[in-house]
Structure formats: C-alpha cells, structure tokens
Amino acid sequence: MLVGIMSDSHDDMQRLAAGVDFFNSKKVSQVVHAGDLISPFTFEALGKLDCPFSAIFGNNDGDRLLLHHKSDGTVQPQPMLLALEDRKAIVVHEPTSVEALAKSGEFDIVIYGHTHTAVVKKVGETLVINPGKVARLHKGQSTLALLDTEKLEVEIVSDF
C-alpha cells in the first residue's frame, strides 16, 4: 500500500494543490495529514484527492468545528489511530510524545508534524515519519512523504 503523508499546509493553496496532484499521479491508496490545515477552504484542494483522506488538528487550526464539518469528519482531534493494511499507525501533531510512542512498541509507524522539518528514522522496530511542511513558510523546501507499508520504506519528496 502506498500512503501519501503531508503536514503543515498552513493555507498555502498552491502547494497544497500541487501535493494533491502529486499524490493522485502516484495513485496513493490513502493520504494522511498531520495537522495545521488552518482554514476550511483547504478542502477545495483536498476534495480533489482520488483516495481516502484523514487528518488531525494541529496547534494552529482555528475553527475546529467547521474544519471537522467541512471535512465530513475526516479531520479529528489527536491522536489518531490508523490501520494501514497490516501496520498499526498513530498520528500526532507536536513531537513531544513521539519518542515515547515509538519506544512503546505498540505501533509500527508514528507520524507527526509541527516542526516543518522532514524526518525519517527508526526507533527500535518503529518507523517515525515527519513529512516536513507543505507550506512555503520560513526557511526550507516544501516536502511530502510517500510511505510503502509493505516494505516499510519512506521517500521524502520536495520536487512536486
């Protein structure tokens, strides 16, 4: 299963639309967003995904009730538990609990956002992924992640 992972889009509709187009071109089976969508109008772009979408709230997501409503309930409070084929995943926004979650041995995959920096690492047998940021905020490139759940491999993509 190929899963698209993004985070911290911060209302950058141009980069968000490019990310949606990229994920559609790769024929991902699911897209996960690790928070900071910001505004409900982001679903204009996300609604063009050819696959299921799920997300959590980040620290900058303002009108959470409207975000939840506009997303048809696909944006939820964190943490979010996901079954990605036979892999057990958890999604959080901020990195404070990432190490403990990874070390717990309860999850195959821990996904987080917030830092705007892409990270792929193993903590024991757990794969930890931060896809970086979609938005062109501050320094650095816009990045996304592609996760192959069968091989448990991740590619960070900046050219999208």
The per-residue pLDDT for 48 is: 97
The per-residue pLDDT for 66 is: 73
16, two tokens? 């968000």
158, two tokens? 């900046």
CATH code of the domain in which 132 resides: 3.60.21.10
Q: What total of structural domains would you count in the chain?
A: 1
Q: Which run of H or of E encompasses 21?
A: helix 13-25
CB 79 within 8 Å of CB 54: no
Looking only at the bridges linking them, the beta strands covering 80-84 and 87-91 are antiparallel
Distance CA 71, CA 53 (A): 9
Give the single-character DSSP code of 77: P
Distance CA 40, CA 23 (A): 20
Domain span holding position 87: 2-157
The per-residue pLDDT for 94 is: 95
Distance CA 56, CA 144 (A): 16
49, two tokens? 């995904």
Q: What is the model's pTM? A: 0.94
Q: Which run of H or of E encompasses 13?
A: helix 13-25
Which residue numbers in the chain have pLDDT < 70?
none
Query: What tens digit of pLDDT does each residue of 129-159 get?
Result: 999 999 997 778 999 999 999 999 999 999 8
The per-residue pLDDT for 36 is: 94
Query: What tens digit of pLDDT does each residue of 18-31 get?
Result: 999 999 999 999 99
Counting every residue written for the chain, the total comes to 160
